[in-house]
Amino acid sequence: MSTETVTAPAAPHLGVGDRIRLWWDTLPRQTQWLVGIPAIVLIALLPVLRPPVLTTVGTDFGGVLAQFGMYALLAIGLNVVVGQAGLLDLGYVGFYAVGAYTVGLITSPDSPWRVHGLDPHWAWLAALPVAVALTAISGLILGSPTLRLRGDYLAIVTLGFGEIVRLLADNLSNITGGGRGLSRIAYPVVGTSSTRPTGVFSAGNTAHPVNSGTAWFWLSLVLIVVVLTLVGNLERSRVGRAWVAIREDEDAAEIMGVPTFKFKLWAFLIGASIGGLSGALYAGQVQFVVPTTFNVINSMLFLCAVVLGGQGNKLGVILGAFIVVYLPNFFIGRTNLFGIPINGNEIANYKYLFFGVALMVLMIFRPQGLFPARQKLLTYGRDVYAAARRAATALTHRTEETVGEAR
Amino acid sequence: MPLLELKDLTVSYGRIEAVRGISLTVEEGELVTLIGANGAGKTTTMRAISGIRQLSRGSVWFDGKDISRMKAHERVLAGIVQAPEGRGVFPGMTVVENLEMGAYARVFPTKAEHDETLARVYELFPRLHERRDQVGGTLSGGEQQMLAIGRALMARPRLLLLDEPSMGLAPMVIQQIFRIVTEINQAGTTILLVEQNAQQALSRSHRAYILETGEVVTSGAGKELLADPAVKQAYLGVA
């Protein structure tokens, strides 16, 4: 009846990443944690150990990692929207801005909305949930009228949203502080000592080995683990299955009884609040927000992290975020690479060009990203899935690739 | 009381009325066919019944209740399940995952019941069992059609809507699909079928409606229509 289908599980054609994931999937949950926790600890120790291969020259390594932490959160949030539910959001930077500006407006002395009487030690922490809640609401406000649109139309509208947020921040000086931005934003005052009179999180903390960048990196790592656990559980639930169905074929999902609008709105809301969380971290770390930071080109960079890492794979997109943040910083201040003289700063300046080329190359050779996603979608648990998986390994992986090419 | 009743159903795309005041009934247990040429409004009618398209006039009644304003996903809960035109299989999900999506809205009360229904689908379509871990997008056209029907069955429909199950398939596969459709109907599921393949559809259905440019022009028992000279000429290519 059909000629194009593969009948016999012929020689499996697997990439290195596929093999690792396959092996990882078959491990029991406890073992996964046993491997995962030391790995996380090792990553957390990076800014303290500062391995010479990895460490950056022109910028502080701790600061780079802190930025990576925020981008990783953004990538996880954007991945819920783009990777899971398949809604192309080009204005994600808008949510990042709403989160950062909320913290700024509550705590900065320049702000017309400053909340007086907040204990300066806890001001940042108090503003954090407000920032997340307000971003979630902004996601709802953007989503409820626009999620009736699909594909390119949705992308254009969200692109507009990102710009609107920035333009409002720039032009409504009475409400947002305008183009001068908001300075002296609160940060958590923890761990004050003689070498760190303003605490570990203060931008003024440059003492080794735990400088302000390292402290923020650690905080963001904790938040990443928390957010990953929450998002991971959502993915494995009925919500996750609904998202994948919507991504694959929205009409078919609706016909299967999935309330598509509701779940799209949820994806938007969850994605937005994670973006807002990241924005709040940013405001606290830099202690200064200004509209130009939230240029739309940042949305493209976030999207680049997601696409590069592999849409729908939450660990993949974290790696994507690392590449997007780390690579330009790796070149800054470098005059020599493997004995070849280079102008590192120039190379870093052209990062958009290089990421653009990288994306094109990726689309040709590995359209699903470096670490493509493979969901577990069965109603009855991962054991059933693992069993089915072992039997079908070869077959599925071959066919997966064909689908990727067909898209 | 009929299981499904359309009263003066009108659906428009902008200013164009694709369906103009159709009234029809489907009784419990029946296999009813809508036939008509391209653009007659068959698929639009289906989409209005499953709730993907809004009505501009008239009403849809299911099991004695007016469901005209009900959302598509709520109609699935009520028991109306569609296997869409062009199959609508989730391309990146495996066959099993696709089938599981069919049971998304109407969760099985017990695992035993789930296994039983899944086994029945595999029994109807042994091919799906062979291909259970293959992703939907790489199935052949016939297999995708089987998957679409199997997936709809996983929702245990009271009314199964089949939109052109024979579209683009080889004659032998069409035969097979129709045989299974009859089998599903005989097992107690009410079916509303949309077809261009009039010969197969009419010979297997209890009753049929013939649509032309958005209106019902003839209706009657399937076999009678098959013998009707006007129908023969227009849809069976026999003079």
Q: Are the beta carbons of A397 and A14 closer than 8 angstroms?
A: yes
Tell whether the model's pLDDT for residue A385 goes beyond 70: no
In the block, which residue shows the tokens 């649509």? B211
What percent of chain A has a predicted confidence (pLDDT) above 70?
87
Chain A contact probe: residue of B49, B94, B160 with most A CBs at under 10 A:
B94
How is residue A377 annotated by DSSP?
Answer: -
Residue of chain A whose alpha carbon sits nearest to that of B115: A380
Asked if the Cβ–Cβ distance from A249 to B90 is below 8 Å, we say: yes
Asked if the Cβ–Cβ distance from B104 to A238 is below 8 Å, we say: yes
What pLDDT sits at residue A374?
A: 63
Dmax of chain A from CA atoms?
A: 79
> CA A62 to CA A53: how far, in whole Å?
15
How is residue A172 annotated by DSSP?
Answer: -
Q: Report the alpha-carbon angle A358-A68-A221, nearest 5.
A: 135
Asked if the Cβ–Cβ distance from A2 to B72 is below 8 Å, we say: no
Q: Are the beta carbons of A128 and A277 closer than 8 angstroms?
A: yes
Question: Which tens digits make up the pLDDT trace of A213-231?
Answer: 999 999 999 999 999 999 9
Instruction: For B145-205, give the DSSP string.
Output: HHHHHHHHHTT--SEEEEE-TTTT--HHHHHHHHHHHHHHHHTT-EEEEEES-HHHHHHH-
Question: Which tens digits make up the pLDDT trace of B87-141?
Answer: 789 988 889 999 999 999 888 899 999 999 999 999 999 999 999 888 888 898 8
Asked if the Cβ–Cβ distance from A392 to B131 is below 8 Å, we say: no
Chain B contact probe: residue of A3, A6, A250, A256 with most B CBs at under 10 A:
A256
Reported ipTM exceeds the 0.95 cut: no
Q: Are the beta carbons of A115 and A182 closer than 8 angstroms?
A: no
Chain A contact probe: residue of B50, B81, B97 with most A CBs at under 10 A:
B97
> CA B179 to CA B204: how far, in whole Å?
9
Provide the pLDDT confidence category of residue A403 given band limits of 50, 70 and 90. Answer: very low
In the block, which residue shows the tokens 């070149």? A331
Question: Which tens digits make up the pLDDT trace of A128-160?
Answer: 999 999 999 999 999 999 998 888 999 999 999
Q: How far B200 CA lies from chain A's nearest CA (Å)?
A: 20
Asked if the Cβ–Cβ distance from B52 to A380 is below 8 Å, we say: no
Q: How far A246 CA lies from chain B's nearest CA (Å)?
A: 9
What pLDDT sits at residue A16?
A: 59
What pLDDT sits at residue A32?
A: 84
> CA A294 to CA B138: how far, in whole Å?
42
CA distances from B153 to A81, A390, A392, B115, B132 (A): 31, 28, 25, 13, 16
Q: Are the beta carbons of B18 and B10 closer than 8 angstroms?
A: no
> What is the pTM for the complete model shown?
0.86
Question: Which tens digits make up the pLDDT trace of A284-322?
Answer: 999 999 999 999 899 999 999 999 998 888 889 999 999
What pLDDT sits at residue B4?
A: 95
Asked if the Cβ–Cβ distance from A5 to B131 is below 8 Å, we say: yes
Q: Cβ–Cβ contacts within 10 Å for residue B84, how many? A: 24
Q: How far B170 CA lies from chain A's nearest CA (Å)?
A: 9
Higher local confidence (pLDDT), B86 or A176: A176
> CA A197 to CA A277: how far, in whole Å?
27
Dihedral sign, Cα of residue A343, residue A348, residue A350, residue A354: positive
Q: What is the mean pLDDT of chain A?
A: 85
**What's the token pair of residue A395?**
């077959």
Intervals of chain B under pLDDT 50: 239
> CA A242 to CA A231: how far, in whole Å?
14
- Identity of the residue in B52, B92, B139 whose CB atom sits nearest the CB atom of A5: B139
Q: Are the beta carbons of B223 and B64 closer than 8 angstroms?
A: no
Residue of chain B whose alpha carbon sits nearest to that of A392: B133
